[in-house]
Amino acid sequence: MHTSAGDIRIKLFDESAPETVANFIGLANGSKTWTDPLTGEESNEAFYNGLTFHRIIKDFMIQGGCPLGTGTGGPGYTFDDEIDPSLKFDKPYLFAMANAGLRRDPRTGAVHGTNGSQFFITTVPTPWLDGHHTIFGEVADEASRKVVDALDAVATDSSDAPLDPVMIETIEIA
């Protein structure tokens, strides 16, 4: 992940969360179709390029992947969690899906997840998140952790938005 603050290498957990990893890769490289929330048009452009880390809460997490930059947007679809009970939020630098909790479909009554495109990287252990968010990767090396630490320290406003935008420039899948 090439950001305006430096590169963040992430090791993805495709065995623990195969659908989540496939979704992230598909959005990152443009192989997964998504719907632009502003135009309603379908797209296969690389989704994350040019988005921001729209929410940074010091000593908790940095969050990105919202096409609106507000924390309210997504790719036009949702999917269920993939909770692997062996993966815990017991350390910093975990890569996980942001979601709005489970929702009940008003037509069918079925309960479903609310994952889409938004993700976060923890900066401290966050055990209260266990079982509520899909962990699908971790920051891969010390240089990348330093970039995450620098992002964790940026000045934010009262709604946790960075005062100066922090950009996701591109995501390269290796």
Looking at the chain, list the stretches that DSSP marks H as alpha helix, in order from N- to C-terminal side: 18-29, 142-152
What CA–CA distance (Å, rounded) separates 108 from 71?
Answer: 27
> Average pLDDT for residues 124-149, to the nearest whole number?
97
Helix (H) or strand (E) holding 47: none
Sign of the alpha-carbon dihedral angle for 11, 8, 81, 65: negative
Please give the single-letter amino acid code of residue 171. I
Q: Domain span at residue 121?
A: 2-170
For the record, the structure tokens of 146 come out as 């330093």
User: DSSP secondary structure string, 121-162?
Assistant: EESS--GGGTTTS-EEEEE-SHHHHHHHHHHHTS-B-TTS-B
Amino acid 102: pLDDT: 66
Mean pLDDT of the region 68-97: 96
Question: Mean pLDDT over residues 130-157, rounded?
Answer: 97
pLDDT of residue 109: 73
Query: Mean of the per-residue pLDDT values for the chain?
Result: 95
The HSE-up count of residue 109 (CA atoms within 13 Å, CB side) is: 0
- Whether the CB-CB separation of 125 and 87 falls below 8 Å is answered with no
The first and second tokens of residue 128, run together, are: 């209260």
Stretch 6-11: mean pLDDT = 98
What region, left, alpha or beta, does residue 153 occupy, with left being phi > 0 and alpha being psi -120 to 50 degrees?
alpha
Span 56-72, mean pLDDT? 96
Lowest model confidence (mean pLDDT) among 79-88, 98-107, 109-118, 144-153: 98-107
pLDDT band at residue 100 under the 50/70/90 scheme:
confident
**What band does 108 get if pLDDT is binned at 50, 70 and 90?**
confident
- Band (67; pLDDT cuts 50, 70, 90): very high
pLDDT at site 111 = 66
pLDDT computed for residue 153 by the predictor:
97
Q: How much is the pLDDT for 31?
A: 97
Domain count, the chain: 1
**CATH number reported for the structural domain that contains residue 86 in this entry:** 2.40.100.10
pLDDT for the residue 106: 73
pLDDT higher for 105 or 35? 35
